[in-house]
Structure 1
């Protein structure tokens, strides 16, 4: 026994560790797995049609760095104040937080940042060297504006030609002012113009070859949108008053005289139908009824649009179709859905009072003028493009509502940005980038959600329903600074380190060192593999699921590894 005590005295760390340190034994030799910090795709970013790095700008905003957050957002989307009002935020539908309490109010924070930028006068500067190359953008809707913005930032000279008298495309002529105030739209377009983008209104391009050759353009982006209302054959008497929804909305925008009467029937079930019915109420109609041939659960309009319309006194006739229109009335036939969900007539009719019938049956793009443009194919009313939004003609690209796919402003912004990147490569003679391997967004099961307390989402204030129909004033208002900060901090930072220091604090081998922040403001840590024994505590205690345990390589090339949050 005395021999043992003597041995411990001579070698005090032979069997025990100094209470102040765990770095005596090189425990890395025990390891069969090693922790790796990772940067995993958050579900919000995966679901964003514009490709916004949502988690990154939310993280930046969490300490009140609003301008830095706005600048990160502006890398992908030049219209945050607009999109913060009109986007249907699929990012929030995908948000993991929605499985805990309520989704993060991503859209409301985006609007706050966009409004703050307008209020503070924040601007974006072109830092790229001028290339001397010229690009024509046809159309000033969200796709065209996005493409023009991204191309200007890359040093190209951009000219946007718009057939209408004002810029904005369907954002101006298809979305009413109560959803999108025009001063907001104008401010964000002006910011793009300040980059050197030239805008030409009332400039219709009807011959692409002539337009490209006359002004020496090196490439073109076609973002012409879908601004023609689809028609349906409805037998009508000579005195019936019928018009399409886009004509009505454009007339309201430009203050053309409209005589709708007291009772308006809107035929259709999409968002445009909701806008038409709500606008009719604001233009003096005492009754606005939407006639839709399917049931509510099959209605293409977003639920929020329908709820707001109902709150404003709009009524809906489900399972109904208009079969005839005459002076002051329409004939409506009741429908029923067959086993496939397709509406079938029943032979049961009813008459509704209607001074005006508004057709809201969808939109189509006017593309006949492209028939004279060699190499550009049009199929089923849309321009054919490849995965890089290139048409069959070198240097000509297209996006937005003019191509096949979902028709939303956010989707169009994504098209414009992706096409701009492709145009930039074309103009520089750079080979197309290989398609990135698809990533699956991180599921909530990979997060340690017990670290997060319940924090219900902030509801944006809105104008009372009783006051809406007398004005085109904006309905939904923005967040205060305190509410925006709170909402940003509700983000779970799914799959990405946010610098909580849990890994640093729980490591039993003191193998983790804090390295501060990188140039993008993201936290970084170093793992000393001499001492990390692969116990996995850091991964188990990471709230965001930003650490994964990986099988130890057969041969280790280095004794020390510095790992940042962007490594895999």
Structure 2
């Protein structure tokens, strides 16, 4: 008997005709992971989401996404020390994405185009008093207003902004930018009372009929230190110096200025002294550079502008035109110890930049509030020991930056809202982190970060013009497109293209993909070739 030939008929799309899903021991699963930039942002911004809009050129949508968390993007794009960029996975490929510079571009674009945020049509009937108009107070007022509450800000100074106005020099933060962002917040219906110092928080709450209070008085009192000095020695604090730049006129510092301290305020004071005509501005600091609290960019810009730094030095005595400096050395714990070696330093004035304290006198009749080392202790939701009184910003234990304060304002607003409604606020669980080893960086071409232009050095020490400039539209677009969308699908179609079983289904623009498990045999190609690590293989049930 003659054998019949063995034959297989293959039709076009045969992988769809043969349901191979039964072979599978693992299956792919689309996931959302926490991008490292989001995780590192003290303000809690959804950075990756607004970058997604920015890289498509939809700047208004990017700005509106940003404004969900941060009402001061043009300010933060200038003064934030961008821990998001330190955490950025792209730094392991070439350079971190210039998140801060894009944020500034979006903030400036919003001011230029007059973009606004709509207030809610109805109010809750609840009233909240915010004490202080710095970043924490403004952020809290903004979010509380959007949540439907009536908000009144009381500010002791005659202009709003707190230490953003009275502590950050104009060459870092132009006042027209600060004013524009504050005006946008008050335009929502937030009441701003200036020159209205609160002496007793409980009395202010009762007299005004407020249902809750958010304390955001900041840290505007410069710390002093005992320095033996002659009668004619001129000693002032850095907070007073920087604050005086907003008044009738700055103090006369002389040609030779010594700044005592090692933080960002010390750098600001020294750079301000240079702009006020000091030919010699020197920072005296007790430790070494690696132990200096000032950020690297602040130190570098100060050195570029001719500021000198005397490391391992402390001031022992001040006279009319000179200081006695003692050399220090670090012991095995890193603490500075005197050596008995002295030198003299010519100086017409001494500026103390030794830290700042908060004015807590308004809390003296609130025994339930726990205060330690000049700071108010708060619970997880930023409520103090007194029901209905919350606190944030520089007056609570935390890093003292504008970004942290903005984050406190948003967090407090959400917990205050829950308190006023008789509920609790639950932020929910966070996604697992999008770590670098989950990415397939082969798909990302090298693209070095854009460099922000800077004011020429010759003008920097003679004017208070802004030093760091912004990106233009084309450069901001390029920078946004450097984002690798770590841990979250951006619909690149890689999984769709590499699947040998045609098991990946497109759900439509903005809706992502799904896996047809009738045909997926769990080969893992989609997960291996996903650029952003948004697919994981899980054991088949």
Report the TM-score range of the alignment, normalised by the length of the smaller protein: over 0.9
The one of 524, 534, 541 aligned to 2:512: 524
3-state SS in 1 of match to 2:143? helix
Structure 1 runs of 4+ off > 6 angstroms? none
Listed one character per residue, the Cα deviations across residues 101-140 of structure 1 (whole Å, up to 9, x for unaligned) are 0000000000000000000100111236310100000000
The one of 106, 118, 132 aligned to 1:139: 132
Give the Cα separation in 1 of the matches to 2:516 and 2:343.
Answer: 79
Listed one character per residue, the Cα deviations across residues 395-426 of structure 1 (whole Å, up to 9, x for unaligned) are 11110001001111000111110010000001
3-state SS in 1 of match to 2:151? strand
* CA RMSD in angstroms, aligned pairs only: 1.3
Give the structure 2 partner of residue 559 of structure 1. none
Give the structure 2 partner of residue 70 of structure 1. 63
The CA deviation at 1:374 is: 4.0
The one of 286, 291, 304 aligned to 1:298: 291
Quick check: 1:266 aligned with 2:259?
yes
Give the Cα separation in 2 of the matches to 1:516 and 1:68.
Answer: 20
3-state SS in 2 of match to 1:22? helix
The one of 276, 280, 287 aligned to 1:283: 276
Give the structure 1 partner of residue 478 of structure 2. 486
3-state SS in 2 of match to 1:243? strand
Give the structure 1 partner of residue 363 of structure 2. 370
The CA deviation at 1:440 is: 4.8
Give the structure 1 partner of residue 488 of structure 2. 496
Listed one character per residue, the Cα deviations across residues 20-39 of structure 1 (whole Å, up to 9, x for unaligned) are 34101111111111111111
The CA deviation at 1:239 is: 0.2
8 Å Cα contact 2:499-2:526 kept in structure 1:
yes
Give the Cα separation in 1 of the matches to 2:398 and 2:69.
Answer: 20
What does residue range 7-22 of structure 1 map to in structure 2 within 5 Å? 8=7, 12-13=8-9, 17-22=10-15
Give the structure 2 partner of residue 444 of structure 1. 436
Give the structure 2 partner of residue 565 of structure 1. none
How many residues in Structure 1 have an aligned counterpart in Structure 2?
541
8 Å Cα contact 1:176-1:253 kept in structure 2:
no
Quick check: 1:416 aligned with 2:409?
yes
3-state SS in 1 of match to 2:448? coil
3-state SS in 1 of match to 2:51? helix
Quick check: 1:321 aligned with 2:343?
no
Over 3 Å counting, the alpha-carbon distance change for 1:341 and 1:128 in structure 2 is farther
The CA deviation at 1:4 is: 4.3
Give the Cα separation in 1 of the matches to 2:511 and 2:226.
Answer: 62
Give the structure 2 partner of residue 545 of structure 1. 533
3-state SS in 1 of match to 2:246? helix
Over 3 Å counting, the alpha-carbon distance change for 1:506 and 1:327 in structure 2 is same
3-state SS in 2 of match to 1:124? coil
Give the Cα separation in 2 of the matches to 1:420 and 1:204.
Answer: 22
Give the structure 2 partner of residue 512 of structure 1. 504
The CA deviation at 1:510 is: 1.0
8 Å Cα contact 2:414-2:425 kept in structure 1:
no
TM-score (norm 2): 0.98
The CA deviation at 1:378 is: 1.1
What does residue range 339-378 of structure 1 map to in structure 2 within 5 Å? 339-378=332-371
Give the structure 1 partner of residue 454 of structure 2. 462
The CA deviation at 1:532 is: 1.3
What does residue range 22-421 of structure 1 map to in structure 2 within 5 Å? 22-127=15-120, 129-421=122-414
